């Protein structure tokens, strides 16, 4: 038996060596240099472990697509393994020392073809990869960890990070926008704003959307197709839709810390994301003949709010947003949910404000109808003017508010901004949810962002002033940030970052020593 075990173990090692050699040869050298780690992912150093890598042709130049594994803490504290993809633009291959802007495509995975357009403009792109659950069903933790890890990459400019997503991905973009700092912009198309209400709406209207007993066609085909998302979400959190947990899961509860320029798009006819959660003034009266009996979308007082307020335009201060209501053009083309889109849509360069942090665009498509999904008409929506404006504007001092800084300091302390409870498995007593990343990853991400923000003297002085006014318990970095000058602030932040990195290096050394000890022990056992 020992001889047979040793022979099998040797064959396994040889096979592993052959596979690693072949894989190393298949990975382009420049991508292997950017993502050198292929072993077990760490919690900060070596957090992104390369699993696949290939080059992509971008207008005759070579970009890269890298598939990565990483560790992150789930809501119940378990350490899970996630997957992500990072797309690297050709400019990084040509100039390895170059830092480029990052677009995180949140929630839903962006494919290779979708990423190519952004890479051609010089953007790196990150996105979750191959997760089986809908973003609203799995929650924020996976994307949160991806963004923390990718912002640390050597070729990513931490001062030029944008987040975008649609539907559940739009919800994810807003939730990440509340956590991350600094950001160039957030773009969210048709995002749920009050997820408790929206989940209950989907769940409660499931019988209405279902086929009648004598028919096979659902009465509301698109709503019927997505109705399982509410159950995914309830399975993840184990709490009722009208509980405070679902308010904590909603952008509505985080609006005060979404301070980057934000462009959000909605439709009055959206059957999946009812406009009721944006404002009752935008609700268009239903045509009873075009909706099944029993359909309801009213946002009632059953659901908790913020100071009794439950809609986006009620909670968001009036001086923080500009509202644009856009009617369709003449003879608009209806979207058929059962057929692919054909022909050009109605062109729409999305309007936006240059002096308000939120630009809210509402496509006035009339009332909901049974066969509508997100949109009733075929639009060719252009976000690029907003993206270009936000990039040219860059990060301004006003993005760091007193409230946003408090949230960042709470992250350093290991405190969630909106604590909530979950019931794992749906049974037993509720327990506090684990809402943050690994402590070392949280510290590194906050300090990276503050250092990037403080690279400009004016912003650094603004940071020092806000920091000095914080409650003492939130002055996690000491009583003051240096001497209050730009240089002093940067030096103080760098000392804290050096401390995080030194601790991580020490932990890595200890881990390596433990690993060597385990390998020696295994070798002795094999002998």
pLDDT tens track for 53-90: 999 999 999 999 999 999 999 999 999 999 999 999 99
Q: Which residues contact 393 (CB under 8 A, 6 or more apart)?
A: 261, 354
Residue 386: band (very low, low, confident or very high) from pLDDT cuts 50, 70, 90:
very high
Q: Which residues contact 162 (CB under 8 A, 6 or more apart)?
A: 101, 102, 103, 104, 183, 184, 185, 186, 187, 387, 390, 391
Share of the chain above pLDDT 90, in %: 86
**CA dihedral sign of residues 518, 520, 524, 527:** positive
Higher pLDDT, 513 or 228: 228
438, 73 contact by CB (below 8 A): yes
Q: Which residues contact 374 (CB under 8 A, 6 or more apart)?
A: 167, 190, 267, 270, 271, 272, 273
Angle (nearest 5°) at CA 458 between 456 and 460: 65
Q: Determine the average pLDDT of the residues in 430-444.
A: 98
Least confident among 55-59, 175-179, 238-242, 424-428:
424-428
Count the residues in the chain: 527
Q: Is the pLDDT of residue 22 over 70?
A: no
Q: Which residues contact 218 (CB under 8 A, 6 or more apart)?
A: 209, 210, 211, 224, 225
Q: Determine the average pLDDT of the residues in 265-279.
A: 98
510-519, long-range: CB within 8 Å, 24+ apart, which pairs?
Answer: 511/42
Q: Is the pLDDT of residue 24 over 50?
A: no
CA distance 272 to 249: 18
Instruction: Give the pLDDT score at 424.
Output: 86
48, 68 contact by CB (below 8 A): yes
Residue 119: band (very low, low, confident or very high) from pLDDT cuts 50, 70, 90:
very high
Q: Is the pLDDT of residue 2 over 70?
A: no
For residue 248, CA distances in Å to 135, 320, 337, 355, 436 come to 16, 21, 32, 28, 13
Q: Is the pLDDT of residue 3 over 50?
A: no
Residue 79 has phi, psi (to 5 degrees) of -85, 120
Q: Is the pLDDT of residue 512 over 70?
A: no
**pLDDT tens by residue, 357-366:** 999 999 999 9
Instruction: Give the pLDDT score at 509.
Output: 76
Asked whether the bond before 182 is cis by omega within 30 degrees of 0, the reply is yes
Helices (H) and strands (E) in the chain, counts: 18, 14
Gap between the terminal Cα atoms of the chain: 12
Nearest to 262 by CA among 311, 322, 306: 322
**pLDDT tens by residue, 330-357:** 889 999 887 888 878 999 999 999 999 9
- The three-class DSSP label of residue 105 is strand
158, 446 contact by CB (below 8 A): no
Residue 100: band (very low, low, confident or very high) from pLDDT cuts 50, 70, 90:
very high
Q: How many angstroms separate the most distant Cα atoms in the chain?
A: 82
Q: Determine the average pLDDT of the residues in 14-37.
A: 71
């Amino acid at each position: 038996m020992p001889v047979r075990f040793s022979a099998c173990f040797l064959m396994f090692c040889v096979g592993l060596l052959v596979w690693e050699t072949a894989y190393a040869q298949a990975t382009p050298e420049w991508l292997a240099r950017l993502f050198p780690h292929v072993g077990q992912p760490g919690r900060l150093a070596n957090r992104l472990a390369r699993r696949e890598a290939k080059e992509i042709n971008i207008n005759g130049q070579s970009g890269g697509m890298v598939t990565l594994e990483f560790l992150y803490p789930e809501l119940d504290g378990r350490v899970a393994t996630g997957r992500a993809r990072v797309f690297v633009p050709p400019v990084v291959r040509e100039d390895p020392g170059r830092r480029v802007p990052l677009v995180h495509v949140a929630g839903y995975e962006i494919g290779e073809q979708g990423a190519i357009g952004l890479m051609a403009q010089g953007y790196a792109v990150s996105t979750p990869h191959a997760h089986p659950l809908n973003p609203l069903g799995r929650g924020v933790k996976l994307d949160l960890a991806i963004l923390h890890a990718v912002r640390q990459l050597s070729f990513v400019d931490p001062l030029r990070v944008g987040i975008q997503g649609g539907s559940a991905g739009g919800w994810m973009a807003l939730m990440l926008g509340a956590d991350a700092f600094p950001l160039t912009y957030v773009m969210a198309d048709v995002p749920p704003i009050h997820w408790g209400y929206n989940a209950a709406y989907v769940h409660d209207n499931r019988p209405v959307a279902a086929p009648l007993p004598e028919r096979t066609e659902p009465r509301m085909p698109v709503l019927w197709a997505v109705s399982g998302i509410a159950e995914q979400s309830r399975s993840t959190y184990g709490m009722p839709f009208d509980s405070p947990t679902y308010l904590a899961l909603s952008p509505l509860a985080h609006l005060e810390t979404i301070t980057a320029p934000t462009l959000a798009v909605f439709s009055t006819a959206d059957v999946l994301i009812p406009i009721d959660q944006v404002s009752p003034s935008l609700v268009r009266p239903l045509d009873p003949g075009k909706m099944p009996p029993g359909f309801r979308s009213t946002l009632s007082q059953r659901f908790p709010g913020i100071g009794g307020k439950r809609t986006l335009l009620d909670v968001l201060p009036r001086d923080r947003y500009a509202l644009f209501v856009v009617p369709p053009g003449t003879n608009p083309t209806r979207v058929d949910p059962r057929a692919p889109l054909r022909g050009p849509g109605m062109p729409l360069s999305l309007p936006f404000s240059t002096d308000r942090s939120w630009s809210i665009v509402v496509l006035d498509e009339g009332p909901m109808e049974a066969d509508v999904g997100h949109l009733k008409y075929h639009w060719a929506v252009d976000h690029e003017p907003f993206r270009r404006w936000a990039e040219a504007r860059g990060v301004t001092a006003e993005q760091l508010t007193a409230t946003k800084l408090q949230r960042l300091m709470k992250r350093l302390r290991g405190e969630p901004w909106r604590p909530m409870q979950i019931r794992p498995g749906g049974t037993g007593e509720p327990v506090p949810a684990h809402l943050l990343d690994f402590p070392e990853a949280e510290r590194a991400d906050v300090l990276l962002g503050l250092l990037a923000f403080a690279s400009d003297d004016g912003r650094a002085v603004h940071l020092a002033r806000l920091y000095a006014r914080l409650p003492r318990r939130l002055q996690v970095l000491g009583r003051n940030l240096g001497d209050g000058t730009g240089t002093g602030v940067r030096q103080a932040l760098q000392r804290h970052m050096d401390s995080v990195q030194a601790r991580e290096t020490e932990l890595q050394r200890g881990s390596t020593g433990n690993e060597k000890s385990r390998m020696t022990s295994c070798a002795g056992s094999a002998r």
